[in-house]
A and B are shown apart, each in its own frame.
Chain A
Amino acid sequence: MHIGKYIDLVHRTEEDLVKAFKLVANAHGDEVDVYQTCMLLSSWSQKLADEIEVFAKKYKEERDEEPDRLTQTLLKKTRKGGMALLRDLHDLYLIVSEVEVCCTILKQGATGLRDKELVASCEEVERQTKRQLSWLTTRMKSAAPQTLIVAE
C-alpha cells in the first residue's frame, strides 16, 4: 500500500506552504494586505498539516524519495518590488495547486479504504486550498495590469 506516500506529499507540501506564505509575507511587508493575508493563509496550512499528520502515523507515512519538485525551485530567495510580488504570488499558486492535486489523489485512496476521517480531512484540505487559490487569483489579477503596464 502506497497511500502513505501521498499522505506524506500532502503533509510535506502543507508544511512547505506554512514557510512559503511566511516568506512572501515578510518579503512584501509593505503591501499590508499581502502580509496579513499570507500570514493568515500560513496559519491555515499549519492547521491542515497538523490534521494530516495524524494519518501519517496511522498509515506509516512513506517518505517519497523524490525531492520536492516544486519547492526546490520555487521561492528560493526573497524578492522585492511589484514584479517580484506578482512572481511570488504566482509561485505560491503553483505550490498550493500541488496540494490540490495531491489531495485529489489521496482522497481517492481514502474513499477506497472507507476511511471516513481521512476523507473528511481531505475535504477540509480541498476547501481551504480552494480559498487559498481564490485569494491568490484575486490578488494577482488586481496587481497584474499595474505591474505589467505601468510599473517601472
Chain B
Amino acid sequence: MQETRNSINNIWGERTPYRGKWPVRVDQRVCEEPDKWVQSACVLCSNGCGIDIGVKDGKMVGVRGRKEDVVNFGRLGPKGLHGWVANNSKDRLTKPLIRKNGKLEEASWDEAMELIVKKSKEIIEKQTSLGIGFYTSGQLFLEEYYTLGVLGKAGLGTPHMDGNTRLCTATAAAALKISFGSDGQPGSYSDLDTTDCILHFGHNIASQQTVLWMRILDRLAGPNPPKIIVIDPRKTFTAEKATVHLAPKPGTNVPVMNGLLNLIIEAGHINKEYINAHTVGFEDLKKIVSKWPPERVEEVTGVPASKLREAAHILGTTKSLVSSVLQGVYQSMQATAAAVQINNLHLIRGLIGIEGSGIYQMNGQPTSQNTRECGADGDLPGFRNWGNKEHVQQLADLWNVELDKIPHWSPPTHAMQIWRFAETGSIKMLWISGTNPAVSMPELSRVRKILQKEDLFVIAQDAFHTETTRYADVVLPAAIWGEKTGCYTNVGRTVHISHKAIEPPGEAKSDLDIFIDYSRRMGFKDKDGTGLIKWNTAEEAFEAWKECTRGRPCDYTGMSYAKLTGGAGIQWPCNEKYPDGTPHIYTDGVFNTASDYCEAYGHDFDTGAAVTEEEYKAIDPKGKAFLKGADYVPPHEVPDEEYPLWLTTGRLVYHFHTRTKTGRSKDLQDAAPDGYVQISEQDATKYGIAEGDMLEVTSRRGKVVEPAKIGGIEPGTVFIPFHYGSWDNDDRPRAANELTITEWDAVSKQPHFKYAAVKINKTNGFLHKVSDVFDTIKDKFKQEEA
C-alpha cells in the first residue's frame, strides 16, 4: 500500500498555513499503481471533496484528491482515503433476493421486480397509492433522486416519500426556508480563507468534515488567524481549538443563542441599515431575546455568564463571520428555532452575501442536498412550494400530467410519520433504498417491530446485507459510487460529477436503472400515453433535471456533464446570468421570500402549524429575510431519580452512518472497532467506574452494554457513538438508538437523537445475563439468514 500520509494516526495531516488562497496538498492512497484515474467526488461526508478513483484491470485500487477542486485542493480525510475498499468487499450483494418460507433466496431481476409490481398493484387496488411509502437516502445520486421523485409524485401519486436525510439535514433545509424563503446555503467554503471569526454550533467539524477542518487549522497556523467559538456540550477536537468554548446542557440551545443575540443587540453591535433594508421582524426578535440576560442563561444552560459575554463580544465586533450548524442543534430540542438564531445573528450584523461571511446550515451526508432539491425527501423538486398551486402546475406541465396527480393537499409525509403509518397498518409497502433504519432510526425496538409486521411488504435496496435487509421481503442489489455515473451537490451548492470507474459486482444495478425499470413495469404514463420517465441514462436524467430547475434558486441550466468533467465542481445557480456558477447568493440582500417564489410559507416554531397562502400573502416580505425569535421550551424528557443522566449520541471521525462501508475497511475499523460510553471523571468516581468497565446503559426504551471511556464530557451527560449495530458483532446490544426517543422537531420533523434520560449500571456478572436475552434474538437472525 502506498500512501502520501497516514490519516489514521494523523487525521488532518501536515499544515499548509495560509490566509487568502488555500495551498494545494494532494493526498493519495493506492494499493497498486493505477492504469487510469477516473474523476469523482467523495461520498463519505457532506463536504464533497473532489477525488480521483484509481483503476487497474477493471478494479478499484486507490484514490487521490483532486488538486484542482475548490472544495479540497487535493486533500482527503481518513474516510475518503480508506472507505473505497468497501467496493471490493467479498460480501457485496450480487443477486436479488426474495423471501420464501421465511428465508431470503436468490432470484432473478425479473422475478424480484415482477413481485414488487404485483404487490404495488394489489395495494393500489385496495388502498390507493397512499398504501405505498418510500424511505430513501442521502447516498444516491441526483439523477436517481429525481427519477424517484417523478415516479413517486407523478407515477404513483403518493405523498409518502422521504429520506434518512430527515435524520440528518431536515433542519438545515427548514431553517434556511424560514429565514430566507428557500433552501440553499448563502456562503461559500472560500469564506473560510479570509474570515476573522468562525462559529461552530453543535458541529464537531474536526471529526465530521475533516477536510474543511484542515482548512481552518491551516488558517489558524497562518497570519491573522480567525477566532473560533464553539458551542458543544462535549470537549471535542473542535472545542479544543476554540477561543471560547460554551458547553450548554443538552436541550438548551435556544437560551444560549437568545443570550448571545441579546448581548449583541444591547451593545448596539448591529447593522441597523441592513436590518431596515433587508429584514422584517427585528422588534419581535428583540423583545424575545431581551428576556435572556446572561445570568438567566447561566441558570438554564450552565454556560457561565462571563463566557457568554466573551463570546458575544467577539461575535458582535468581528468584521466577518462564518457559522456552521449541525446535529448538536438539528437533533436536539427546538432544532429549527435554534438553527434559525444563527441566521438571525448574521442578518442583524449584516454579515451575509459578502466574501468572508457565510452560513453553513451543514448537511450530514454527501448527497442529502440532492434529496432535498430533487423532491426525494417529500419536498417538491426545484425548491417548489407545495402550498403554491402555480408551482405544482409548473411540475404538472413539465411532466405532462394532470395537476391533481401530484400530491399537494398537505405537507408531504415526513419519515417519522411514514413509519407511523406503517406501524398502524395503512402503509402496506415500504421501499427502503440506500439506508439502514434498523440501526439509524430512534428507538430501534420499535423499528424492528414495524419491519417485522406481517402486513408490511419491505423492499431493501442496498449494496450489502444490513440489519435492515434481515427483515426485507425483497432485497435488491445496488451498484454504488464508482460503479455508476451521476452528480451530487455538497453543502456549499457545489455540484460534482462522478464517473463510472468500474463495473458493479454480479448482477447489481444502479438505483437509477432499478427505478426506471419499476416505472416502466408499472406502466406509468403521461397525459399523452407515453412513458412518464423519458430518460434511460444518467446524462439524460440530468438534462431533464436541468429543465426542472430553470428559474428556481437551484438553477442547474448552465451545467452539463461535459462542463462538470475535467475541472472543479460548480456552484449553483449556474445559468445564462452565472455561466460559471455563483460563490455567494443574496449578495444584493434580496432573499427568496416573495410569496410567488418562496419554497414554503413558514411554520409556527412551537407547534409546526403551517402558515397558509393567504396569511403569507398578507405579510409578503417581498425579498426581505425573516428575523424570527423563539422562546425556550424545555426538553420533553429530562433526567430524574430513576434515569439520572443525559444521553447524547453522535459520530466518530473514522466511521460513516452505520459503517456499511467504513466498517469494511480494516484500517478504519481497527481505528474505531467498537462502541463505548463516554462519561465524565466526576460521574466515573461517583459510580466507581474504571476505564474499560462494561456498563449497562438503560433508557425507558431499551438497553445497551458498552465499555466506559472516561473524560472529555460534562458531568451528568454520557455519550455513545451511533454507528455500531449488529451486522459484524452481535455479542451484545450496542446500537445507541436502542435508547433514543421517538419524537421530533415540530417544524423540521427531525428526530431528537441528542437527548434522552438514561441510567448506568456496572454489569459485573450481569453482562452474562443480558447476553442470554440477546442470544434468543441472535438465534432468530441466524435462522433468517440461513
- A positions within 8 Å CB-CB of B: 31-33, 36-37, 40-41, 82, 131, 134-135, 137-138, 141-142, 144-146, 149-152
Contacts and interface: CB of A to CB of B under 8 A. Distances in A.
A37 B426 contact: no
Please classify how large the interface on chain B is, using the bins under 10, 10 to 19, 20 to 34, 35 or more.
20 to 34
B178 to A, nearest CB: 15
A149 B127 contact: yes
B608 A31 contact: no
B217 to A, nearest CB: 41
Contacts of A152: 425-426
Given A82-B426, A150-B426, A40 B607 contact: yes
Interface in B589-609: 604, 606-609
Given A131-B607, A142-B410, A142-B417, 6 more contacts: A36-B743, A138-B411, A145-B130, A149-B128, A149-B130, A152-B425
Given A32-B743, A33-B746, A146-B130, A40 B633 contact: yes
Contacts of B128: 149-150
Interface string B599-622: 000001011111100000000000
B654 interface: no
A135 B420 CA distance: 19
A135 B611 CA distance: 9
B130 A142 contact: no
A32 B607 contact: no
Contacts of B636: 36
A152 B131 CA distance: 11
A151 B607 contact: no
A145 B607 contact: no
A42 to B, nearest CB: 12
A40 B127 CA distance: 34
B192 to A, nearest CB: 38
Contacts of B410: 138, 141-142, 144-145
Contacts of B609: 131, 134-135, 137-138
Interface string B404-436: 000001110100110011001110000000000
B744 interface: yes
B738 to A, nearest CB: 18
B698 interface: no
B742 interface: yes
A147 to B, nearest CB: 8
Nearest to A43: B633
A126 to B, nearest CB: 14
A37 B607 CA distance: 6
B413 A142 contact: yes
B606 A40 contact: yes
Contacts of B604: 131, 134-135
6 contacts: A32-B743, A36-B743, A40-B633, A131-B606, A131-B609, A134-B609
A150 B418 CA distance: 13
Nearest to B126: A150
B424 A151 contact: yes
Contacts of A31: 420
A135 B417 CA distance: 16
Nearest to A36: B636
A44 to B, nearest CB: 9
Given A36-B743, A142-B411, A145-B410, A150 B607 contact: no
Contacts of B610: 134, 138
B607 A134 contact: yes
Q: Which of A32, A37, A131 has the most C-beta atoms of chain B within 10 angstroms of its own C-beta? A: A32
Nearest to B160: A146
Which 6 pairs across A and B sit closest by C-beta, in order of nearness?
A: A134-B609, A135-B607, A135-B609, A141-B410, A150-B426, A142-B410
A135 B127 contact: no
Nearest to A40: B606
Contacts of A37: 607-608, 746
Contacts of B608: 33, 37, 135, 138
A131 B424 CA distance: 28
B130 A150 contact: yes
B752 to A, nearest CB: 10
A145 B411 CA distance: 12
A33 B130 contact: no
A41 B155 CA distance: 39
Contacts of B409: 141, 145
Contact of B421 (A36, A41, A146): A146
A31 B416 CA distance: 10
Nearest to A44: B606
A97 B159 CA distance: 30
Nearest to B603: A138
A138 B417 CA distance: 14
A40 B609 CA distance: 13
B424 A82 contact: yes
Given A31-B420, A138-B610, A145-B409, A151 B746 contact: no
Contacts of A151: 424-426
Interface in B130-165: 130-131, 159
A41 B607 contact: yes
B480 to A, nearest CB: 34
Contacts of B742: 32
